[in-house]
Structure 1
Amino acid sequence: MDEILSQEEVNALLKGISEGKVETEKGVPAGDAQVYEFPRVEEGEEGDALPRMEKVAAKVASAVNESLIGLLKRPVEVGSVEVRYESGEECFSRLPDLCSLSLFSMDPLKGSGLLILDAGMIFSLMDLLFGGRGTAKVERKTKEFTPIEMKVVQKLACTILEDLEGVWKELFPVKVRLLRSESDPSDVPFASPGEKVVTVEAVHAVGDLHYRYQVCFPLKLFDPVREKLGGVSASGGAEGEWREKIRELVMTIPVEVTCLLGRSTVTVLEGLRMKEGDILPLDTSPQGNLSLLASGVEKFEGFLGSFQGRYAVKIVRAITP
């Protein structure tokens, strides 16, 4: 207890330090201090993962591989496919000195993706297309492509994006559209430095030649389809999981579908006088369409026929409420 200073002693000590009467410890020499930058930890990193993205990326790479075979008329193999979760700054820090940056949209998803084609890949493909071995080296003083090279860029970008759209339609109906191609990163409004992105990098091998390209997506682009990619929904994992289970249960409920041949109105007296052999005219013609009802609600129109020895109705039009 004797080691605890009283308030008067504390005040006297502080006064002595401020007046220089009390000697304090000297600071650590500047040369001995090391600056340590703590790594940036962002919230929600575990929830950012999209487990099924690897499978989608592999399918896209396989489709692109088939397109390259058709384009080059020679064997092509998929070397590797990698999916990375990184910031926009990290994505752009890996850009080669000269490359093609093709911005594209994926309607109805909001936002834009980025296709990155290395200049070496473009020059090599041009050499192959013009009968060379794909080993031609091009020295370039400016960070721009020639008009002929841009034609190859456009062709290659459209091919990859068509394959991307084809694979994505199996998961979610999208329309991929090339917006424009640039070679200067400052001209591409893709993602801010701190924004989270998903980068898919694929390598294709043509003999000893290796072609590498990257497709980058802002992570928020996939918010509407996060559950389809195996990720946690923005509204919470448990809620999204239960919503999907309820949806699956609803989809298995049996619904009775009825084909309405026609309608007729009679009086009570006429109904009582009906007997076997009477003809009851209906309000439909033999060549007219019939109504299909789902649980009593009119949903479709079709015409009567037969299929595999049984009566059947071919749907010709959906009825919107």
Structure 2
Amino acid sequence: MSDILSQNEIDALLSALSTGEVKAEEIKSKELDKKVKPYDFKRPNKFSKEQLHTLSMIHENFARLLTTYLSAQLRTVVQINVFFVEQMTYNEFIFSIPNPSLIAVVDFSPLKGAAIMEINPSIAFSIIDRLLGGPGEYSGKLREPTEIETGIIEKVFSKMTRILSDAWKDIADIQTTLEKLETNSQFVQLVSPNEAVALITFNAKVGNSEGMINICIPHIVLEPIIPKLSTRIWLSTSKQEQAETTKQFITEKVYDTKTEIRAELGRTLITVGEFINLATGDVIALNKNIKDGADIFIKDKLKFSGSIGVHRNKMAIKIQKKFGEGGEFNG
């Protein structure tokens, strides 16, 4: 958007036009000049700012779910937050990963291709140490995990992929699964080196240990659902999903609610003496005809009318009429 001129700037421009210091033709020619923007063919911009922002919101949800899971599993303070989301080439990402590291190749079915989920060794070994009963701290040198450690962290990665599926469900029905686990980034070549990727980096803190968690998703994998990476679509889908969940939750609670139901044949007024002297065979006159049926009250509100009888050797009442809020018959 062009800058808005102040009143003083407008007066100065009109004065310059009237004196001939500035010509109108020069202003028009400047407006017609084409604005040239530099374009780097090595790093093409395939993700718009809005799409990167949507990816950030999706993975903020992933960070919250992962924080809840790890806090429950490790029983210690866990904080995971989205640090930044940016576009880069696949080659740049691979060279930024420390070696050795813990790298999971994640299948993005039904989309074609896979993504990478990488955990820095400082965080990975802290998680392993905590799961094995330790304090959850790691200050040793970078090394490859043992077979036992690999088996433990593989289970954590498998759970993380399922959590990732839940985070993406508002955009697309993606079933992420763990394909394999690597420790050397040079052995993971998913796409060409110059392929554009979206890198989501998380700042993770497990106990006293801090590190990074990275998710790298190639553009070619997300290409079929790129139009859905819109903030407006994500928010509308998310709100609709929340509304359906809320509706289902309320419905289940209402169905499980216990309430008092009372059937009333009729009413009358008698003295205390008459009540005391009641005996078998006495007849009490009520204020209703027996053909009118019994009134059924729910929490002292008249809701139905029906006939009293026996069903399977138990006292029962058959509903025949329904009343509104004020007791009016609805038909």
Range class of TM-score, shorter chain: 0.5 to 0.7
How far residue 136 of structure 1 moved from its aligned partner, in angstroms, is 3.2
The letter of the residue matching 2:57 is K
Match of 1:158 in 2: 158
Shift of 1:82: 1.6
Deviates more, 1:180-189 or 1:105-114: 180-189
For 2:122 and 2:84, how far apart are their aligned partners in 1? 20
Q: Which runs of 5+ in 1 are unaligned?
A: 1-37, 232-308, 310-321
Query: CA separation in 2, counterparts of 1:123 and 1:44?
Result: 36
Partner of 2:23: none
The alpha-carbon deviation at position 216 of structure 1 amounts to 0.6
Q: Is the 8 A contact 2:60 2:81 kept in 1?
A: no
Residue 46 to residue 175, structure 1, CA distance change in 2 (3 Å): closer
Q: 1:133 aligns with which of 115, 122, 135?
A: 135
Aligned positions of 1:120-269 closer than 5 A: 120-139=122-141, 144-230=144-230
Is the aligned partner of 1:66 residue 2:37? no
205-214 vs 144-153, greater mean Cα deviation: 205-214
Where 2:172 maps in the other structure, the secondary structure is coil
- The one of 47, 55, 58 equivalent to 1:56 is 58
Offset of residue 48 of structure 1: 7.4
Structure 1 vs Structure 2: percent identity of aligned residues? 21
Q: Which has the higher helix share?
A: 2
Distance in 1, matches of 2:218 and 2:47, equals: 16
Q: Supply the AA of the counterpart residue of 1:180.
A: K
Q: In 1, distance between residues paired with 2:144 and 2:80?
A: 29
Structure 1 residue 45, shift from structure 2 partner: 4.6
Q: Is the 8 A contact 2:82 2:200 kept in 1?
A: no
Change (3 A) 1:41 1:144: closer
| Cα distance in structure 2, aligned partners of 1:181 and 1:45 | 28
How many angstroms apart in 1 are the aligned matches of 2:45 and 2:202? 27
Q: Show CA shifts across 1:216-245 (max 9, x none).
A: 1001211121121129xxxxxxxxxxxxxx
The alpha-carbon deviation at position 131 of structure 1 amounts to 2.8
- Amino acid in structure 1 at the alignment position of 2:197: V
Question: What corresponds to 1:111 in structure 2?
Answer: 113
Maintained 8 Å contact 1:85/1:199: yes
Deviates more, 1:123-132 or 1:170-179: 123-132
Match of 2:85 among 83, 87, 96: 83
Aligned letter for 1:64? L
How many Å separate the matches in 1 of 2:140 and 2:194?
35
TM-score, normalising length from structure 2? 0.54
Q: Structure 1 residues 222 and 136 mapped into 2: Cα distance closer, same or farther (>3 Å)?
A: closer
Structure 1 range deviating more: 203-212 or 84-93: 203-212
Q: Indicate how the Cα distance of structure 1 residues 131 and 60 shifts in structure 2: closer, same or farther if over 3 A, else same.
A: same
User: Equivalences for 1:38-53 in 2 at 5 Å?
Assistant: 42-45=43-46, 47=48, 50=51, 51-53=53-55
CA separation in 1, counterparts of 2:60 and 2:147? Answer: 32
- Alignment CA distance shift 1:71-1:129 (3 Å): same
Residues 89 and 120 of structure 1, relative CA distance in 2, 3 Å threshold: same
What's the secondary structure of 2:117's corresponding residue? strand
Q: Does structure 2 retain, via aligned residues, the 8 Å contact 1:87–1:196? A: yes
8 Å CA contact 2:105, 2:115 repeated in 1: yes
Give the equivalent residue in structure 2 for 1:23. Answer: none
Residues in 1 aligned to 2:64 and 2:220: alpha-carbon distance in whole angstroms: 26
Q: Distance in 1 between matches of 2:230 and 2:41?
A: 26
Distance 1:87 1:48 in 2: 16
| Residues 43 and 92 of structure 1, relative CA distance in 2, 3 Å threshold | closer
Amino acid at match of 1:153: I
**CA distance in 2: counterparts of 1:75 and 1:119, whole angstroms:** 18
Unaligned runs of 5+ in 2: 1-38, 232-321, 323-331
Letter in 1 for 2:167: V
Provide the rounded CA distance (Å) in 2 between the counterparts of 1:80 and 1:224. 25
Give the letter aligned to residue 134 of structure 2.
Answer: G
Distance 2:44 2:87 in 1: 14
After superposition, where does 1:240-319 map in structure 2 within 5 Å? none
